């Protein structure tokens, strides 16, 4: 079939595009350093039997270019022009630059990205616009893995914005990367002015004590919550059972929920301290995961939609979680 013979393998080499007077001319990447004006028409006739060879590979010979050894072929599938060596007509499969570009754009679209341009210095990388609007630089091979659902595209700019919001919600300011180079840590400034390295995961959960003013998360009041989250993108409706010093803020900023997600707080349980909220919630979640493993939603289903690693359940666990909350409420020391 002609059509499939023109479809390039995305793992093969890329093309560069030359805009000459009429249509773009795709040039194999290995010839990228040949000056653009070298690809002008070359005044020699085309032997008849070459046309048959080209047609058999899904192309039409448009003209001779550059020198005795090159042709500009037009793809019968997409109409794009690609420069090839004449020898390729006889020996190798001929790839169409236009079909390659279409495939690359379609792959990006499947991964929720818009291809913008190829990286100048490394042709394994492209620059894309992510769904959030930011530009991201990623390997083409990674885009394949995103399409296959093996991984996601995490936007660095959005991640920083999320970390800043997490810090603000806890009375800190995110200053930047860890000066000691630990990728799990960031540098923060407390509202008292003190700068401190804190694990990002601890900041996300509001578990950060200031070593100067002594303000401690574990002695501040907290809330255990049960929420229902609807994620229209994946047709998922789940329960989140956790604790936070400020559940409303947590949901808005800290879970990194997609814009279309809808959150309903089903129940809030005031806890006298973060320490107590943490230990009760952890114990309850451990019991639930142990007794109802089939109701624990696999992380892979929502990895890119909710910014947590555990504590997401299917709706059938609603009454069981309510029971856990009843038991916790009965254990809370009266104030
Ligand atoms: Zn084509
Ligand atoms: Zn972004
Ligand atoms: Zn402080």
Domain region containing 30: 2-99
Residue 127, in any domain of the structure: no
Sheet strand arrangement including 114-118: 114-118, 125-129, 135-139
Backbone angles phi, psi at 281, to 5 degrees: -65, -45
> Do 263 and 314 sit in the same domain of this protein?
yes
Q: Which listed ligand is nearest to 191 at the C-alpha?
A: 3
Q: Which residues contact 56 (CB under 8 A, 6 or more apart)?
A: none
Q: Which residues surround ligand 1, an ion (CB under 5 A)?
A: 75, 77-78, 80, 96, 98-99
pLDDT score of 308 more than 80: no
> Among the three residues 73, 99, 125, which one is the final residue of a domain in this structure?
99
For residue 213, the CA-to-ligand 3 centroid distance in Å is 4
The pLDDT value given to residue 5: 33
> Do 196 and 230 sit in the same domain of this protein?
no
Model pTM score:
0.59
To the nearest 10°, report the CA torsion of 184, 188, 194, 199. Answer: -20
For residue 256, the CA-to-ligand 3 centroid distance in Å is 26
pLDDT score of 181 more than 60: yes
For residue 217, the CA-to-ligand 2 centroid distance in Å is 30
Nearest Cα to 271, choosing from 218, 203, 216, 207? 218
> Among the three residues 81, 99, 117, which one is the final residue of a domain in this structure?
99
> Do 193 and 251 sit in the same domain of this protein?
no
The pLDDT value given to residue 266: 93
Q: Quick: pLDDT tens for 84-107.
A: 999 988 888 899 999 999 999 999
Q: Which listed ligand is nearest to 112 at the C-alpha?
A: 2
> Do 164 and 244 sit in the same domain of this protein?
no
> Do 170 and 232 sit in the same domain of this protein?
no
What mean pLDDT, rounded, does the chain reach? 86
Residue 147, in any domain of the structure: no
Q: Quick: pLDDT tens for 21-33.
A: 567 899 988 888 8
Residue 30, in any domain of the structure: yes
Mean pLDDT of 254-274: 82
Residue 85, Cβ density class (10 Å: 0-12 exposed, 13-18 middle, ≥19 buried): middle
> Do 7 and 87 sit in the same domain of this protein?
yes
> Among the three residues 60, 76, 99, which one is the final residue of a domain in this structure?
99
> Do 278 and 238 sit in the same domain of this protein?
yes
More confident residue, 334 or 4: 334
Q: Which listed ligand is nearest to 158 at the C-alpha?
A: 2
More confident residue, 9 or 162: 162
Mean pLDDT of 196-209: 89
> For the chain, how many structural domains are there in total?
3
Mean pLDDT of 235-242: 90
Mean pLDDT of 132-141: 92
> Do 228 and 327 sit in the same domain of this protein?
yes
For residue 152, the CA-to-ligand 2 centroid distance in Å is 13
Residue 164, in any domain of the structure: yes
The pLDDT value given to residue 309: 54
> Do 189 and 231 sit in the same domain of this protein?
no
More confident residue, 252 or 317: 317
The pLDDT value given to residue 179: 95
């Amino acid at each position: 079939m002609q059509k499939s013979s023109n479809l390039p393998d995305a793992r093969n080499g890329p093309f560069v595009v030359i805009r000459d007077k009429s249509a773009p001319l795709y040039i194999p990447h290995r010839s990228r350093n040949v000056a653009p004006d070298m690809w002008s028409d070359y005044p020699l006739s085309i032997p008849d039997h070459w046309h048959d060879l080209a047609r058999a590979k899904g192309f039409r010979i448009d003209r001779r270019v550059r020198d005795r050894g090159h042709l500009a072929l037009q793809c019968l599938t997409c109409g794009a022009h690609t420069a090839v060596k004449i020898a390729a007509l006889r020996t190798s499969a001929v790839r169409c630059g236009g079909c390659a570009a279409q495939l690359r754009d379609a792959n990006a679209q499947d991964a929720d990205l818009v291809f913008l341009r190829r990286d100048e210095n490394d042709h394994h990388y492209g620059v894309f616009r992510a769904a959030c609007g930011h530009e991201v630089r990623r390997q083409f091979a990674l885009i394949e893995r995103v399409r296959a659902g093996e991984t996601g595209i995490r936007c660095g700019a959005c991640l920083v914005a999320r970390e800043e919001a997490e810090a603000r919600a806890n009375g800190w300011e995110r200053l930047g990367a860890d000066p000691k180079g630990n990728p799990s840590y960031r540098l923060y400034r407390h509202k008292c002015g003190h700068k401190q390295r804190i694990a990002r995961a601890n900041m996300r959960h509001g578990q950060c004590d200031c070593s100067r003013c002594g303000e401690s998360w574990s002695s501040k009041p907290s809330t255990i919550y049960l929420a229902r989250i609807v994620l229209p993108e994946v047709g998922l409706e789940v329960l989140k059972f956790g604790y936070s010093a400020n559940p409303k803020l947590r949901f808005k900023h800290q879970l990194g929920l997609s814009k279309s997600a809808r959150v309903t707080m089903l129940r809030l349980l005031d806890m006298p301290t973060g320490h107590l909220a943490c230990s009760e919630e952890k114990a309850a979640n451990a019991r639930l995961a142990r007794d109802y493993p089939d109701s624990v939603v696999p992380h892979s289903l929502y990895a890119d939609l909710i910014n947590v690693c555990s504590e997401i359940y299917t709706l059938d666990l609603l009454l069981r979680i309510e029971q856990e909350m009843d038991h916790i409420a009965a254990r809370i020391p009266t104030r």
